[in-house]
A and B are shown apart, each in its own frame.
Chain A
Amino acid sequence: MMTGAQILIESLKREGVDLIFGYPGGVLLGVYDTLYDSDITHILPRHEQGGIHAAEGYARATGKVGVCFGTSGPGATNLVTGIANAHMDSIPMVVFTGQVATSLIGGDAFQEADIIGITRPIVKHSYMLTNVEETASVIKEAFHIARTGRPGPVVIDLPKDIMAAKAKFEWPEKVNLTGYNPTVKGHLGQIKKMLRLLESAKKPVIYMGGGVVLSEANEELVKFSEITGVPVVSSFLGLGGFPGTHENFVGWLGMHGNYASNMAVSDPDFILAIGTRFSDRSTGRLDGFAPNAKIAHIDVDPASISKNVQIEVPIVGDCKAVLKQALGEIDKFNWDKNASARKEWREQIKAWDREHPFDYDRTADIIKPQYVVETIYKVTEGDAIITTEVGQNQMWAGQFYKFKRPHQFISSGGLGTMGYGFPAAIGAKLGCPDKEVFDIAGDGSFMMNMQEICTAVQNKVAVKVAILNNRYLGMIRQWQNMFFNDRFSHCDLNCQPDFVKLAEAFGAVGMRIDRKEDVEAAIRESLKVKDKPVIMDFTVDRNENVFPMIPAGASVSEMLLMQK
């Protein structure tokens, strides 16, 4: 016989969990006592939100399921933002929350919160354990649900008495869920229909999203794009799903994407959308989005198909599996037929890109934030894992770092969670210790979870934080500058800590870089630090805005470009 807590830890081992981010608390003491004897590594963040973002960063960098613990009540509610973040970006997570004993539930006990109720709209699924005997099977189901289909977070609430109760440990052979059976392979007839339409298209575009990264369909997609000669546009979260330096790669579309990508989707004759959900930040105003194109859409989530944009050829299935099927059929079609029209189309797109590439004033004496990102790209040879905070820093990271592979770019896309990037970087570095990991940060976002410097120091996590410090909530300032007559309401962060001293106070390395000529040397210097975090405070142009920009609710034709 084992206790619920012992069954829990044993089940985690069976699922291959080797790293947990968690914060103990009253009702979880039994679980933590069991964990004390286990060989699973446990990382103690300094705030539950830091812990769950770190678990997500770990999941996104490794492709594995992220696991975190929080106690009942405030511990659980502090996890809510992280759960919502994982839900919006479809990241596999299993989140364990403590709960008061079942006899006390509903009585407003100390540190009681109805976390299952609170998180209902932001989970893929959730469980409250009410019987110790179901512990192992629930955990197995939770991991299965989190990682299959369209991935997402699963919450398991652990009442204190259930964790103390005893039962025999029985690890189920397989998962049996009558109501859950995601489609993996696509319908072959639909795939052929898509290929037929693509074959006859003269101005086709592949519009790929985070689903390509999640299913690691990158190699299949490169092959597919090369054979068919179709250029590839990515969503923001798709970055890394197709090599950023490939000649068929156009860039990313949307509010701050490049001109060529947005032009490419404004009037193509065919779009093959892969693993994307046509978010408003990507498409802009929908009536301006490819009004004359036929659209085929491959997605593992049927509810993402025809949700925002009407789709002619829906293909439900895993991106990688469906692309494999498509590659199996590809020789049966004639890709030479429109090859010259497509070449012309690719030339047109390249011309658009030459006309308005991502750019900034390279002659400025002051440090431009884009220059910092570009230099990180150069110094790391495009190989680092990049996490971002949210706002201007995030957009510049997407614009000036070219990604090679899936899981290399980690950013809070759907929810836009400030304070995400730094803990996510810690998780990513713990998952991929051989890779350099940079958090491209803003001063505002970084201050939302900077307590995690302590976590990184304690665990010798050598992440680099590049604060693009404009002493503003930069994206807020940009909108107030552009749309609110320079009425800078509450975006000024001139009062802030000395980040160098702050880093040192935590036992990390701090650097301040005020001069453009010191940027590269500082980044190179940071790479020499192997056993603690480095916080680099770059004093950048306070007034720099992100361009291009398609204002919210506008269409591509209303794109604002950099003033030269």
Chain B
Amino acid sequence: MMRHTISVLVENKFGVLSRISGLFSGRGYNIESLSVNRTTDESVSIMTIVTMGDDRVVEQIIKQLRKLVNVIRVRNVSEMDHIEREMILVKVHATQRTRPDVFNIVSTFRGKTVDITNESVVIELTGANDKILAFLNVMEPYGIIEVVRTGAIAIGRGSKMTSEMK
């Protein structure tokens, strides 16, 4: 089972999101995360879907996505040179005593502190999946109150559009 990041260019039309999420649930594929938003072209949206599966399953997922009429392009960006980012907002216990340590770690991970109370801080961090996991791991002992995560977004390296890359 491998983690795959799939970039899907879709027409920005009624019900597209449900067609795609329904395809995953109906065929028993899992979605680890899904993020969707408009592109510079208002009529087109881009989705980044992170899924787990062996090669055969991922091949089927891509073929089934391509069958959807509103789907314009599908790329398995895991197979190409690409940049992937997620963002988290984490609320962590931090008292006067532990705060300097927390700040230190946040700065090491190049995160930002965006809210402080006497007992807690809220940290904003972006990075690839492994960095996010590593950060959460290090924060664990301080007491994580809440984590809110975006799904991954991904873009191919180089001057071509991701959807045009091989």
Q: How far is the CA of A323 from the CA of B99 in the complex (A)?
A: 73
Task: Verify if A177 is at the interface (C-beta below 8 Å from B).
Answer: yes
Minimum distance in angstroms from B65 CB to a CB of chain A: 9
Known: A125-B68, A179-B10. 13 other contacts (CB 8 A): A120-B19, A121-B23, A124-B69, A177-B69, A178-B72, A179-B11, A179-B70, A303-B60, A303-B63, A303-B64, A303-B66, A303-B67, A306-B56
Task: Verify if A128 is at the interface (C-beta below 8 Å from B).
Answer: yes
Per-residue contact bits, chain A 305-349, to B (CB 8 Å; 1 contact, 0 not): 011000000000000000000000000000000000000000000
Task: Verify if B18 is at the interface (C-beta below 8 Å from A).
Answer: yes
Per-residue contact bits, chain A 162-188, to B (CB 8 Å; 1 contact, 0 not): 000000000000000111100000000
Task: Chain B residues near A145: list those with CB within 8 A.
Answer: 69
Task: Verify if A302 is at the interface (C-beta below 8 Å from B).
Answer: yes
The residues in A between 135 and 171 inclusive whose CB is less than 8 angstroms from any CB of B are 145
Q: Say yes or no: B15 contacts A120, CB within 8 Å.
A: yes
Task: Chain A residues near B11: list those with CB within 8 A.
Answer: 178-179
Task: Chain A residues near B18: list those with CB within 8 A.
Answer: 117, 120
Identify 7 residue pairs between A and B in the complex whose beta-carbon atoms are under 8 Å apart, listed by A's number.
A145-B69, A178-B72, A179-B70, A179-B72, A302-B63, A302-B66, A307-B60
CB nearest to A117 among chain B residues = B18
Per-residue contact bits, chain B 133-166, to A (CB 8 Å; 1 contact, 0 not): 0000000000000000000000000000000000
CB nearest to A141 among chain B residues = B69
Task: Chain A residues near B70: list those with CB within 8 A.
Answer: 179
Task: Verify if A62 is at the interface (C-beta below 8 Å from B).
Answer: no
Task: Chain A residues near B92: list those with CB within 8 A.
Answer: none
Minimum distance in angstroms from B23 CB to a CB of chain A: 8
B residues at A contact (CB < 8 Å): 10-11, 14-15, 18-19, 22-23, 26, 56, 59-60, 63-64, 66-72
Q: Which of B15, B60, B67 has the most CB of A within 10 A?
A: B67
Minimum distance in angstroms from A462 CB to a CB of chain B: 40
Task: Verify if A116 is at the interface (C-beta below 8 Å from B).
Answer: yes
Given contact pairs A179-B10, A179-B72, A116 touches B59 in the complex (Cβ within 8 A): no
Minimum distance in angstroms from B121 CB to a CB of chain A: 41
Q: Which residue from B22, B64, B69, B72 sits with its C-beta under 8 Å from A125?
A: B69
Task: Chain A residues near B64: list those with CB within 8 A.
Answer: 303
Q: Say yes or no: B63 contacts A121, CB within 8 Å.
A: no
Majority secondary structure, B binding face: helix
- Number of A residues, CB within 8 Å of B: 19
CB nearest to A154 among chain B residues = B69
Q: Say yes or no: A121 contacts B22, CB within 8 Å.
A: yes
Given contact pairs A303-B64, A306-B59, A128 touches B72 in the complex (Cβ within 8 A): no
Minimum distance in angstroms from A137 CB to a CB of chain B: 13
Task: Verify if A301 is at the interface (C-beta below 8 Å from B).
Answer: yes
Given contact pairs A117-B18, A120-B18, A180 touches B60 in the complex (Cβ within 8 A): no
CB nearest to A180 among chain B residues = B69
Task: Verify if A130 is at the interface (C-beta below 8 Å from B).
Answer: yes
Per-residue contact bits, chain A 105-136, to B (CB 8 Å; 1 contact, 0 not): 00000000000110011001110101000000
Q: Say yes or no: B68 contacts A179, CB within 8 Å.
A: yes
Minimum distance in angstroms from B40 CB to a CB of chain A: 16
Q: How far is the CA of A179 from the CA of B72 in the complex (A)?
A: 4
Task: Chain A residues near B67: list those with CB within 8 A.
Answer: 301-303
CB nearest to A150 among chain B residues = B67
Minimum distance in angstroms from B48 CB to a CB of chain A: 18
Task: Chain A residues near B10: list those with CB within 8 A.
Answer: 179
Q: How far is the CA of A250 from the CA of B157 in the complex (A)?
A: 54
Per-residue contact bits, chain A 526-555, to B (CB 8 Å; 1 contact, 0 not): 000000000000000000000000000000
Task: Chain B residues near A117: list those with CB within 8 A.
Answer: 15, 18
Q: How far is the CA of A86 from the CA of B69 in the complex (A)?
A: 18
Minimum distance in angstroms from A300 CB to a CB of chain B: 11
CB nearest to B70 among chain A residues = A179
Task: Chain A residues near B69: list those with CB within 8 A.
Answer: 124-125, 145, 177, 179-180
CB nearest to B13 among chain A residues = A127
Q: How far is the CA of A177 from the CA of B10 in the complex (A)?
A: 12
Q: How far is the CA of A301 from the CA of B63 in the complex (A)?
A: 9
Task: Chain B residues near A307: list those with CB within 8 A.
Answer: 60
Task: Chain B residues near A180: list those with CB within 8 A.
Answer: 69
Task: Chain B residues near A130: list those with CB within 8 A.
Answer: 14
